[in-house]
Structure 1
Protein backbone atom coordinates (compact mmCIF):
# COMPACT_ATOMS: atom_id res chain seq x y z
CA UNK A 1 0.00 0.00 0.00
CA UNK A 2 1.78 3.20 1.16
CA UNK A 3 5.55 3.08 1.69
CA UNK A 4 7.94 5.50 3.41
CA UNK A 5 11.58 6.32 2.90
CA UNK A 6 13.51 6.00 6.16
CA UNK A 7 13.90 9.77 6.52
CA UNK A 8 10.17 10.37 5.85
CA UNK A 9 9.22 7.73 8.41
CA UNK A 10 11.54 9.33 10.98
CA UNK A 11 10.14 12.84 10.36
CA UNK A 12 6.52 11.65 10.51
CA UNK A 13 7.06 9.74 13.77
CA UNK A 14 8.88 12.72 15.27
CA UNK A 15 5.88 14.92 14.43
CA UNK A 16 3.24 12.43 15.61
CA UNK A 17 5.09 11.91 18.91
CA UNK A 18 5.50 15.64 19.51
CA UNK A 19 3.86 16.95 22.70
CA UNK A 20 1.95 19.51 20.58
CA UNK A 21 0.02 16.75 18.75
CA UNK A 22 -3.00 15.51 20.75
CA UNK A 23 -3.52 11.80 21.39
CA UNK A 24 -5.47 9.93 18.71
CA UNK A 25 -4.05 11.69 15.65
CA UNK A 26 -2.57 9.78 12.71
CA UNK A 27 -1.09 10.59 9.31
CA UNK A 28 -3.82 11.10 6.72
CA UNK A 29 -2.87 10.13 3.18
CA UNK A 30 -5.44 10.91 0.54
CA UNK A 31 -6.46 12.76 -2.56
CA UNK A 32 -7.81 16.24 -3.08
CA UNK A 33 -9.83 17.01 -6.16
CA UNK A 34 -10.84 14.37 -8.65
CA UNK A 35 -10.31 12.71 -12.00
CA UNK A 36 -7.30 14.10 -13.88
CA UNK A 37 -6.75 17.04 -11.53
CA UNK A 38 -6.37 15.11 -8.25
CA UNK A 39 -3.38 15.86 -6.05
CA UNK A 40 -2.01 13.91 -3.10
CA UNK A 41 -2.81 15.06 0.41
CA UNK A 42 -0.79 14.58 3.62
CA UNK A 43 -1.80 15.81 7.02
CA UNK A 44 -2.48 14.93 10.63
CA UNK A 45 -6.05 14.02 11.44
CA UNK A 46 -8.40 11.91 13.55
CA UNK A 47 -10.29 9.00 12.04
CA UNK A 48 -13.64 9.73 10.39
CA UNK A 49 -16.51 7.42 9.44
CA UNK A 50 -15.16 6.38 6.00
CA UNK A 51 -11.56 5.88 7.12
CA UNK A 52 -9.45 2.77 7.36
CA UNK A 53 -6.63 2.85 9.92
CA UNK A 54 -3.41 1.03 9.03
CA UNK A 55 -0.07 0.71 10.74
CA UNK A 56 2.68 0.99 8.15
CA UNK A 57 6.27 0.66 9.35
CA UNK A 58 5.22 1.90 12.81
CA UNK A 59 3.24 4.88 11.47
CA UNK A 60 -0.53 5.05 12.00
CA UNK A 61 -2.01 5.91 8.60
CA UNK A 62 -5.58 7.01 7.87
CA UNK A 63 -6.99 6.50 4.38
CA UNK A 64 -10.52 7.24 3.24
CA UNK A 65 -11.96 4.01 1.77
CA UNK A 66 -12.82 5.88 -1.44
CA UNK A 67 -9.13 6.70 -2.00
CA UNK A 68 -7.64 3.25 -1.30
CA UNK A 69 -7.27 2.06 -4.90
CA UNK A 70 -5.56 5.30 -5.94
CA UNK A 71 -2.95 5.10 -3.18
CA UNK A 72 -1.63 1.59 -3.82
CA UNK A 73 2.09 1.85 -4.55
CA UNK A 74 2.52 5.42 -3.29
CA UNK A 75 5.91 6.26 -1.75
CA UNK A 76 6.35 9.13 0.67
CA UNK A 77 9.79 10.71 0.94
CA UNK A 78 11.29 13.70 2.70
CA UNK A 79 13.73 15.72 0.65
CA UNK A 80 15.41 19.05 0.23
CA UNK A 81 14.33 21.03 -2.81
CA UNK A 82 15.04 24.55 -4.06
CA UNK A 83 12.11 25.78 -1.97
CA UNK A 84 13.19 23.99 1.25
CA UNK A 85 12.67 20.73 3.06
CA UNK A 86 9.41 18.83 2.71
CA UNK A 87 7.54 15.68 1.85
CA UNK A 88 7.22 14.35 -1.67
CA UNK A 89 4.78 11.71 -2.90
CA UNK A 90 5.39 9.55 -5.94
CA UNK A 91 3.47 6.65 -7.45
CA UNK A 92 5.51 3.61 -8.46
Structure 2
Protein backbone atom coordinates (compact mmCIF):
# COMPACT_ATOMS: atom_id res chain seq x y z
CA UNK A 1 0.00 0.00 0.00
CA UNK A 2 1.38 3.39 -1.01
CA UNK A 3 0.63 6.42 1.13
CA UNK A 4 0.76 9.83 -0.42
CA UNK A 5 1.45 12.83 1.72
CA UNK A 6 0.24 16.23 0.77
CA UNK A 7 2.54 19.12 1.37
CA UNK A 8 1.67 22.74 1.21
CA UNK A 9 4.16 25.46 0.76
CA UNK A 10 3.50 29.10 1.50
CA UNK A 11 5.55 31.41 -0.63
CA UNK A 12 6.51 34.83 0.58
CA UNK A 13 5.60 37.69 -1.74
CA UNK A 14 8.40 38.76 -4.11
CA UNK A 15 8.55 42.04 -2.21
CA UNK A 16 7.28 41.66 1.36
CA UNK A 17 6.30 45.35 1.59
CA UNK A 18 5.02 47.30 -1.39
CA UNK A 19 4.46 51.00 -1.99
CA UNK A 20 1.88 52.19 -4.47
CA UNK A 21 3.04 54.76 -7.03
CA UNK A 22 1.12 57.45 -5.12
CA UNK A 23 2.79 56.54 -1.82
CA UNK A 24 6.23 56.49 -3.46
CA UNK A 25 5.64 60.00 -4.85
CA UNK A 26 4.86 61.27 -1.34
CA UNK A 27 7.88 59.52 0.17
CA UNK A 28 10.15 61.08 -2.50
CA UNK A 29 8.69 64.48 -1.64
CA UNK A 30 9.41 63.98 2.08
CA UNK A 31 12.97 62.80 1.36
CA UNK A 32 13.63 65.89 -0.79
CA UNK A 33 12.07 68.23 1.79
CA UNK A 34 14.32 66.82 4.52
CA UNK A 35 17.43 67.06 2.33
CA UNK A 36 18.21 63.45 3.18
CA UNK A 37 21.25 61.61 1.87
CA UNK A 38 21.18 59.59 -1.35
CA UNK A 39 21.27 56.44 0.77
CA UNK A 40 18.06 57.51 2.56
CA UNK A 41 15.00 55.34 2.68
CA UNK A 42 11.70 54.81 4.39
CA UNK A 43 11.75 52.93 7.68
CA UNK A 44 8.59 50.82 7.89
CA UNK A 45 7.98 49.38 11.30
CA UNK A 46 5.54 47.79 13.67
CA UNK A 47 5.53 48.93 17.28
CA UNK A 48 3.64 47.55 20.26
CA UNK A 49 0.84 49.94 21.17
CA UNK A 50 -2.17 51.62 19.68
CA UNK A 51 -5.73 50.73 20.57
CA UNK A 52 -5.52 47.32 18.83
CA UNK A 53 -2.16 46.03 20.04
CA UNK A 54 0.27 47.11 17.31
CA UNK A 55 0.77 50.33 15.41
CA UNK A 56 2.57 51.19 12.19
CA UNK A 57 5.53 53.50 12.08
CA UNK A 58 7.02 55.36 9.11
CA UNK A 59 10.12 57.51 9.19
CA UNK A 60 12.70 58.81 6.72
CA UNK A 61 16.19 57.63 7.70
CA UNK A 62 19.57 58.25 6.09
CA UNK A 63 20.84 54.68 6.51
CA UNK A 64 19.46 51.24 7.37
CA UNK A 65 20.07 49.63 10.75
CA UNK A 66 22.56 46.80 11.10
CA UNK A 67 19.95 44.02 11.05
CA UNK A 68 17.46 45.65 8.66
CA UNK A 69 16.19 43.99 5.54
CA UNK A 70 16.59 46.49 2.69
CA UNK A 71 13.78 46.26 0.16
CA UNK A 72 12.94 48.38 -2.85
CA UNK A 73 9.51 49.34 -4.09
CA UNK A 74 8.70 51.92 -6.76
CA UNK A 75 12.32 53.10 -6.61
CA UNK A 76 12.20 53.77 -2.86
CA UNK A 77 14.48 51.97 -0.41
CA UNK A 78 12.55 50.44 2.49
CA UNK A 79 14.25 49.57 5.78
CA UNK A 80 12.42 46.88 7.77
CA UNK A 81 13.67 45.28 10.99
CA UNK A 82 13.15 41.52 11.52
CA UNK A 83 10.51 41.99 14.25
CA UNK A 84 8.38 44.19 11.99
CA UNK A 85 8.84 42.06 8.88
CA UNK A 86 6.95 39.13 10.39
CA UNK A 87 3.86 41.37 10.71
CA UNK A 88 4.30 43.28 7.45
CA UNK A 89 4.86 40.47 4.95
CA UNK A 90 2.64 41.18 1.93
CA UNK A 91 1.57 44.66 3.12
CA UNK A 92 0.77 47.38 0.58
CA UNK A 93 1.25 50.99 1.67
CA UNK A 94 -0.79 53.63 -0.15
CA UNK A 95 -1.27 57.37 0.23
CA UNK A 96 -4.83 58.67 0.08
CA UNK A 97 -6.34 62.15 0.09
CA UNK A 98 -9.93 62.78 1.09
CA UNK A 99 -11.96 65.75 2.31
CA UNK A 100 -11.28 64.62 5.88
CA UNK A 101 -7.51 64.56 5.39
CA UNK A 102 -4.66 62.69 3.79
CA UNK A 103 -2.11 60.14 4.87
CA UNK A 104 -0.60 56.73 4.43
CA UNK A 105 -2.81 53.65 4.64
CA UNK A 106 -1.82 50.02 5.12
CA UNK A 107 -3.43 47.02 3.44
CA UNK A 108 -2.00 44.28 5.65
CA UNK A 109 -3.10 40.69 4.95
CA UNK A 110 -1.70 39.63 8.35
CA UNK A 111 -4.01 41.89 10.36
CA UNK A 112 -7.02 40.14 11.82
CA UNK A 113 -8.57 43.39 13.04
CA UNK A 114 -7.99 47.07 13.47
CA UNK A 115 -9.41 50.21 14.90
CA UNK A 116 -11.27 53.16 13.45
CA UNK A 117 -8.15 55.33 13.22
CA UNK A 118 -6.49 52.91 10.77
CA UNK A 119 -3.09 53.20 12.42
CA UNK A 120 -3.24 50.17 14.69
CA UNK A 121 -4.06 46.51 14.15
CA UNK A 122 -4.24 43.06 15.73
CA UNK A 123 -2.81 39.79 14.45
**Is this a same-fold pair by TM over 0.5?**
yes
Aligned to 1:9, the other structure's residue is in SS state: helix
Aligned to 1:10, the other structure's residue is in SS state: helix
Higher relative contact order (CA 8 A, sep 6+): 1
- 2:68 and 2:82 in contact (8 A); partners too: yes
Number of aligned pairs?
90
| Superposed displacement of residue 91, structure 1 | 0.8
Scaled by the length of structure 2, what TM-score is found? Answer: 0.63
Gaps of 5+ in 1: none
* Aligned ranges 1:4-83 → 2 under 5 Å: 4-16=19-31, 18=32, 20-23=34-37, 24-33=39-48, 37-45=53-61, 46-83=63-100
Gaps of 5+ in 2: 1-15, 110-123
- 2:21 and 2:74 in contact (8 A); partners too: no
User: Structure 1 or 2: larger strand share?
Assistant: 1
- CA RMSD between the two structures: 1.9
User: Structure 1 or 2: larger helix share?
Assistant: 1
CA distance in 1, matches of 2:35, 2:55: 25
Scaled by the length of structure 1, what TM-score is found? Answer: 0.81
- Larger of the two Rg values belongs to structure: 2
